[in-house]
Amino acid sequence: MGPAALFASGLAAGLAAGTASCAAVQGGLLVGLVRPAATPSGPSARAEPSIGTTGEARADTSAVGAFLTGRLAAHTLLGGLLGLAGSAVRLGASVRAVLLIGAGLMVAVHAIRLLRRRGGVACVGGHRGRSASAERTECATCGDPTGCSGCSGDHAVRAAAPGRATRSPVGRGLALGTATLLVPCGVTISMEVAAVSSGSALAGAAAMAGFALGTAPALAALGLLLRRLASSRLAVLAAVAAVAALAAGLFTVASGLSLGGWLPGAGPAARADSVPAASAGPGGVQRITIWATERGFRPGIVTARAGLPLEIVFRTQDNYGCTRTVTVDGRDVVLPVTGQDAVRLPPRGTGDLRYACGMGMYAGFIRFV
């Protein structure tokens, strides 16, 4: 396929399958874009919601736009490298597992920071403080960097840490957008394999760029929603969003541990005589069929004879989930939405072989006896 066809394919995959998948997996990083919101205090205290101001709306758009720009640039560059150098650029399952754990911890840290910021201090009155995108939090009227603590009039500022410099929302957005490469959804991995198969830097970049653009609308909407919730008087909703992001971060950490096979008790618990067994095929090659569904692999455990080659046939039916990408025996296999693909394994000794979806969310086992 040429660059134009791969770009169209990536765009379609992003719009059709990657929207929900990437928003769920990478959306937690958007929590790092939110600005702290003021919490009013005092009998006459009132905090202005920022969602109606032109300056705040512009800051929201700039931050989310920077996130999407960083994400697009990173994915395009990665696609070009994959197309140019092929599988040599691809990361193994263990490396991807470590990156997933790191990214999940980053999301969790941002979520905890957002929860802690909900208790910030604000002054009362009708004067609006400077935007949280400013370098320092200070009174817009008197310039007091301590948050109007010395003012006798009615002033209002946001609840960022007093006197502490804040990072530019554009720079933070670019960094977080680039960091989405550390949290690839199942469809992302499929597009990476397509970029590798293209054998061309231009075609690989086109495939990944199309995919990033296809998923951009959903991530943009989610980012703007999080920014506005965090800066409004809807403190409860903002806290709920932070808790959801924390859960997403912890889930990403668990996925990384699962992908690496490092979760305690992650091995199969079923007895060998209670699970299906591989059937004998021509030439002494065993054969098993495993269905890759959106909810996991069926059957989840299969037995095979040690010392004989094995052919695994993965079958799919309208599968748009992460199980379309299977990491087995150190390689990634991208399955069709509907159809099948076979993986041939050389003879192995006794023991368990673990395979997983590209995100580590679902796993299956083959027990060699």
Has this prediction a pTM greater than 0.75? Answer: no
CA-nearest of 124, 139, 120 to 48 is 124
CA-nearest of 115, 137, 118, 117 to 128 is 137
Give the whole-number percent of the chain exceeding pLDDT 90: 21
> What whole-number distance in Å separates Cα of residue 140 and Cα of residue 79?
46
CA angle 184, 190, 193 (to 5 degrees): 105
pLDDT at residue number 316 = 93
Question: Is the per-residue pLDDT at 257 higher than 60?
Answer: yes
> Domains plus CATH for the chain?
3-259 (no CATH), 272-368 (2.60.40.420)
pLDDT at residue number 18 = 62
pLDDT at residue number 19 = 66
Total number of residues shown for the chain: 369
Question: Is the per-residue pLDDT at 160 higher than 70?
Answer: no
Question: Sorting pLDDT into bands at 50, 70 and 90, what band is 66?
Answer: very high
pLDDT at residue number 274 = 61
In this structure, is the dihedral angle defined by the CA atoms of residues 7, 72, 89 and 295, taken in order, positive or negative? Answer: negative
Question: Is the per-residue pLDDT at 158 higher than 90?
Answer: no
For range 314-339, the mean pLDDT: 86
Question: Is the per-residue pLDDT at 50 higher than 50?
Answer: no
pLDDT at residue number 346 = 92
Question: Sorting pLDDT into bands at 50, 70 and 90, what band is 174?
Answer: very high
For range 288-305, the mean pLDDT: 92
Question: Sorting pLDDT into bands at 50, 70 and 90, what band is 187?
Answer: confident
- Three-state secondary-structure class, residue 342: strand
- Is pLDDT larger for residue 77 or for residue 43? 77
Q: How many CA atoms lie within 13 A of 198 on its CB side?
A: 30
Question: Sorting pLDDT into bands at 50, 70 and 90, what band is 47?
Answer: very low
Contacts of 304 (CB under 8 A, 6+ apart): 277, 278, 286, 288, 310, 366, 367, 368, 369
Strand-strand pairing, 286-293 and 310-316? parallel
